[in-house]
Structure 1
């Protein structure tokens, strides 16, 4: 039975993503707005991956699966793509992506699986690859809700933040007969769970509409605390709770963005990453994250954390604060924009409860 209210209770069941069939990034407007990429590769509609990068990513994910199983965690997997799935809606077309960063478009809140509305067109049908697992949980008694799906015409996106950063490079939206105005679009990875409280990053009108929907849908069960523009989208490389009373933070400036009760928690600050801990890439490789991507760790319980073996300084800091660190290799995190927290959707955590940590 689905049960997960926080990020740290003992992990019993988890979905781990798959990179199989990942061929390229579709560099359409939705992708560029999400990653704020307007100054590179502007003459391309598609950025293929090098095959060996995908193969090495898949090796590293299988290493994560093996470690989780050794820790007695039940691992579920999505349907794997044999090749990129091409699809067309009445409004646009794209090549689909595998369910790699499975935390991005689904969140477990207590006994409910909630699918969020995609922000990138290529990911519109990505959660279909998770449906066999979701149906398994639904048949066992879980609630299952889907946020309204966006039309995703050019005028569905709020471009204000991107235009503020790149005023001369963000194109004006193309009009469409199917325009409905700015829509709710939002990733579950913008949320972190603290029992009955959820902190959530809001950076544009798309996010704000989605949070209004979440508040109306779950007002009797959860309290949502908005962080305004803490990051462009996801916040799990900025802050992660490791156990009640302890936060892992990217830098001290993050504290001022947090709800007042969390400012009193103990703080572990990630060390400055070393470029030497990352692979060297060619000029035509598109990196999508900062060097702080390894903050994206996964808590197995209140004392045990899975961290990237390629981030030795971070491991040393976590161990100095009393955590048992299980190192797992993850080489190409900057190319595929995800760490171990991103790659996983924890569906069952033992003794996880809607406690009031605030």
Structure 2
């Protein structure tokens, strides 16, 4: 089918589900710790190795030994793979055509660019580095170094849509030296770890100053309107690019510091006129036209809904990650099977809830919305905000 995806709720016809194949570790360095700053600082207080390997003048990581890599227990990876495959099977069972990215080969272990090197992350959270805007694929400038070439694993799928008539655009790629990052969010909120605050960027011969960096998951899609979360100068520069590129086709609405980056565990549109929001305080930060929509605020996350981890297990997301649901149509929502309170709340609002297993979402940084990229929905560029 032709690429067509304008919103978050229209009947879903085709979707990409991410892959966790050969996921082995997280790499602790500046871009990673900035991206996960809120949750690393808040949920891993017992960890002791709070350091930030810096770039060196020779263009390699100052921690070239790889000791900045935090291994992930194989049991967690195996269970993650089971759950991702279960998600793909559930969607296929609902009549949705499921596409998959290429898998990371074990021999593909490292990225090298002009200014740095990093380990490779599998294309699991495929929502992050691509924005589908109607009939256009927009590959967004990555925010984490280890994900720099992640969209290349989606190339076969994107190529098929291009052959069918889709637009295909790649936003400017950042050099991503230390000087590229706006550190103000981390410096102005909580301290970036118990032993060292985020700061002291190291110089590189490839410094160009602040650059655009941005994830598709920072965008709430509402027909011809895009609500964009801005928390740094990097985000703002990318949003400037989007406004110019999409001028005449979409309207951009900026919200500020709704979260450190992504919007889709703070607010999701489940159908026209209905939002799922983390709290009333979040809703009040939205554009005025959205504040009149009905708001569903679920009960707080149940403490026993999450596995218990050891101190050495790096927690990357807040307990609100399960708000990261996926709508199959205006009446049907995929929800983590352990979230009984969320499911009952949605059912009270006349949604059909499809329970799906997802155990280790806090370790791998994503829920069902993050793990998927909807490429074909029935909706069009309707005007929902007037």
Select the residue among 166, 171, 177 that pairs with 1:147.
171
Q: Which residue of 2 aligns with 1:353?
A: 380
| Alpha-carbon offset, residue 86 of structure 1 | 1.2
Q: Which residue of 2 aligns with 1:119?
A: 143
Q: Which residue of 2 aligns with 1:12?
A: 13
2:183–2:199 contact (8 Å) kept in structure 1 = no
Q: Which residue of 2 aligns with 1:300?
A: 328
Task: Check if 1:76 corresponds to 2:99.
Answer: yes
Q: Distance in 2 between matches of 1:301 and 1:224?
A: 24
Superposition CA RMSD, Å:
1.1
Select the residue among 315, 340, 363 that pairs with 1:312.
340
Deviations 1:248-300 (A, max 9, x none): 01111112101111101111102101110100101110101111100000000
Deviations 1:138-171 (A, max 9, x none): 0111000011000000000000111122275113
Select the residue among 262, 279, 284 that pairs with 1:234.
262
Task: Check if 1:166 corresponds to 2:187.
Answer: no
Deviations 1:333-353 (A, max 9, x none): 000010000000000002x11
Q: Which residue of 1 aligns with 2:133?
A: 109
Q: Distance in 2 between matches of 1:289 and 1:271?
A: 18
Select the residue among 316, 320, 327 that pairs with 1:288.
316
Select the residue among 149, 155, 160 that pairs with 1:136.
160
| Alpha-carbon offset, residue 310 of structure 1 | 1.6
Q: Distance in 2 between matches of 1:301 and 1:53?
A: 31
What SS is found at the alignment partner of 2:111? strand
Q: Distance in 2 between matches of 1:310 and 1:58?
A: 18
Task: Check if 1:190 corresponds to 2:215.
Answer: no
Structure 1, unpaired ranges of 5+ = none
Q: Which residue of 2 aligns with 1:29?
A: 30
Q: Which residue of 2 aligns with 1:212?
A: 240
Q: Which moved more, 1:162-171 or 1:179-188?
A: 162-171
| Alpha-carbon offset, residue 312 of structure 1 | 1.1
Equivalenced residue count is: 357
Structure 2, unpaired ranges of 5+ = 52-66
